[in-house]
Homo-oligomer: A and B are copies of this chain.
Amino acid sequence: MLKVGHWKDVEPIIYDDENAKAEKRVLIGKKLGAGNYIMRLFTLPVGGYTPYHTHDWEHEVFVLEGKLELKGEEETYVLEPGSFAFVPANEKHGFKNIGDTEVKFICVIPAKGGE
């Protein structure tokens, strides 16, 4: 059976400490029956960020709104709405809102990464 929703109706998980200042919404996860990969929506407020860290699973990212810095191990990119990014497993990475409006991006991970 199809499962359908809108991100505005999904309760956010809020991070607000030295590691991260961000909201995460699990749009399509285990609750809806997704067993292979998980679609999440991140919102970074002005000044928001995620940790510069690494793990053994990849990210597939698509930017919806705002001006987003993505720092990898070798290069740093500035992403805008319509940009996409592939962060391979085991590559250090961190996201940061470097604009003066909210950032929103989709981030898909394999189920082994949790939700």
The chain A residues found within 8 Å of chain B, CB to CB, are 1-8, 27-28, 32-34, 36-37, 39, 41, 58, 60, 62, 64, 70, 72-75, 77, 79-80, 82-88, 91, 93, 106, 108, 110
Q: List 28 A-B contacts (CB under 8 A).
A: A1-B72, A1-B75, A1-B91, A2-B70, A2-B74, A2-B75, A2-B77, A2-B86, A2-B91, A2-B93, A4-B77, A4-B83, A4-B86, A5-B84, A6-B83, A8-B82, A28-B86, A32-B86, A33-B86, A36-B36, A36-B37, A36-B110, A37-B60, A37-B108, A39-B62, A60-B108, A62-B106, A108-B108
- B82 with A6: CB separation less than 8 A: yes
